[in-house]
Chains A and B, each alone.
Chain A
Amino acid sequence: MASDQPALTIESLDVAYGAIRAVQEVSLAVARGRVTALVGSNGAGKSSVLRASAGLAPARSGRVLVGDTDVTRLPARKRLLEHGVALVPEGRSAFTTMTVRENLDLGLRVGRARAAAGVAATFSLDEAFELFPVLAQRADNRAQVLSGGEQQMLAIARSLLMSPSVLLVDEPSMGLAPLLVRRIFAVMADVFQRHQVSVLLVEQDTAIALELASDGYVLEFGRIVAAGPSAELRDDPRLRRAYLGEGNRP
């Protein structure tokens, strides 16, 4: 398999909820071992692209490929267990009545299934505890006691334990204080880099997303309106006006 082949490819994807077309003709590629950002304003259809990639929202037409395997028709569970498409959902996504360790075990369980299918684990429980010391301290407490940011860290650690071939991260900044968002993005940058994780990141905070990502796509009303290396998108004057807040100041 060529190493320049994308980890995830989406080809002219359409997602519709009844008569509402949330996503139209979206095509994108997530390069292996790198972070690709999908940015855009609220309601642009970013999460729909992500959920359709994971198999949690129905694709009306188009294809989703992992490496060169078409997974469009596979249910979410098979995409995860057989092809390593892992999702970090938006918002608080820990099982709060279970302990932190039990939550992480759910990730390890997928990782073991992946190992049985021949995908070597790259991330261990020890590493998770080292990276997020609060998870080690709270290992035997219910996840309920964790703050929103800590639950986000737990969800990220849990998904990394699944040995994902592509990691879909949905709005990690949601509902968190700006300082905490910075910290979580710093940790993600570090761990994604170190483990060469292929990531599709959906984020409303365009500036911080393009800082973490090497490539980016801009979604508007369900369509891709701009794409390119993050550095170029950051400097695009139209984007600066529309998403980075410039020109809106009094």
Chain B
Amino acid sequence: MIQYLIDGLATGSLYVLLALGFTLVFGVMGMMNVAHADLYMLAVFSFLWLGTDAGLGTAPGFVLGVAAAVAAGWLIFVVVLSRVDKAVPLALFVGTLGVSYVIENLVAKLVEFRARSVPPLFATTTWEVAGLRVTNSDVVVLMATLAMGLGLLAWLKLSSTGKLLRAVSENTQLAEVVGIDTGRMMALSVVIASAIAGLGGLLVANKTQGINPFVANDVSLKMFAVAVVAGAGSVGGAMLVGFALGVVESLAVAYVGSTWQNVIGLLAMVGVLLFRPQGLFGRYNRVG
């Protein structure tokens, strides 16, 4: 039982790391970036290309992988997010969906539509404590997720820039009125979100030891589910719900059967939304 809990938290880490950035950008810009999960994939392939294939080594490859995710996120912001008319959510959805297809197929073409194995970032060890198996890569993912999630929350709550970001997230028009550079805050939220996705992606790939160009198709839905169930824009909520989804899935696999893994989480999402359309931690009544 506790073993499933540990496995679930490790799986949940990926959902948390993706949903954190997705929900942050959604809060600040009022926009869904459907291509967000592709940044995770892009970071890992960049790591493989630069760190492994080009022989730059693990640490430089890691840094460049994160940098690639940030660069791609920035490009999506400049080319699509900041240009599409916010008043037409469908245009934005289709726009970022298009970006997602382009990134995925471009990468797929480059790797000839094959999945690749990912060399470990560090030597893996497995600890057995009281009959429980825990690997050091699990621990690293979990700790990094907690650090990034709590760090982001604290930064939003306490730092002066974080407060400006929250102001834009609550009410963009009013933020303009009090002299906040809303465009700069939006760009900043995209950079932070992309960095978290890239960093998280590399740590998760270190655990799963594989990556394929279309991995976003599997995790995007979970990312949406976590963000929506938590309440779009709620960073703290995304952490709790992301871990919870990982644990629920892990328990579902163990006690109901592995075919139920993807069903249970989405059922839970529909269930929550029936009773709380604004999400569990939704404060959402956006103006403008």
Contact = CB atoms under 8 A, between A and B. Distances in A.
A39 interface: no
A108 B265 CA distance: 46
A80 B170 contact: no
A205 interface: no
Contacts of A145: none
Interface residues of A, number: 22
A196 B166 CA distance: 33
B57 to A, nearest CB: 44
Contacts of A109: 160, 178-179
A89 interface: yes
A54 B177 contact: yes
B247 to A, nearest CB: 29
A95 interface: yes
Contact of A95 (B160, B167, B176, B179): B167
Contacts of B167: 95, 98, 106
Contacts of A6: none
Interface in B52-74: none
B85 interface: no
A113 B180 CA distance: 12
A27 interface: no
Interface string B157-200: 00010011011001101101111110000000000000000000
B176 A76 contact: yes
Main secondary structure of the interface of A (DSSP, over half): helix
B179 A80 contact: yes
A87 B179 CA distance: 10
Contacts of B180: 77, 106
A110 B167 CA distance: 14
A110 B160 CA distance: 13
B283 interface: yes
A96 B179 contact: no
Contact of B163 (A87, A89, A98, A107): A98
B38 to A, nearest CB: 31
Of the listed residues A77, A102, A109, the one surrounded by the most CB atoms of chain B closer than 10 A to its CB is A77
Contacts of B164: 106
Nearest to B174: A93
Interface in A138-172: 158, 162
Given A80-B177, A97-B170, A110-B178, 11 more contacts: A56-B173, A56-B176, A77-B176, A77-B179, A87-B177, A96-B170, A98-B166, A98-B167, A102-B163, A106-B167, A109-B178
27 contacts: A56-B173, A56-B176, A76-B176, A76-B177, A77-B176, A77-B179, A80-B177, A81-B179, A87-B177, A93-B177, A95-B167, A95-B174, A97-B170, A97-B283, A98-B163, A98-B166, A98-B167, A102-B163, A106-B163, A106-B164, A106-B179, A106-B180, A107-B178, A109-B178, A109-B179, A162-B178, A162-B179
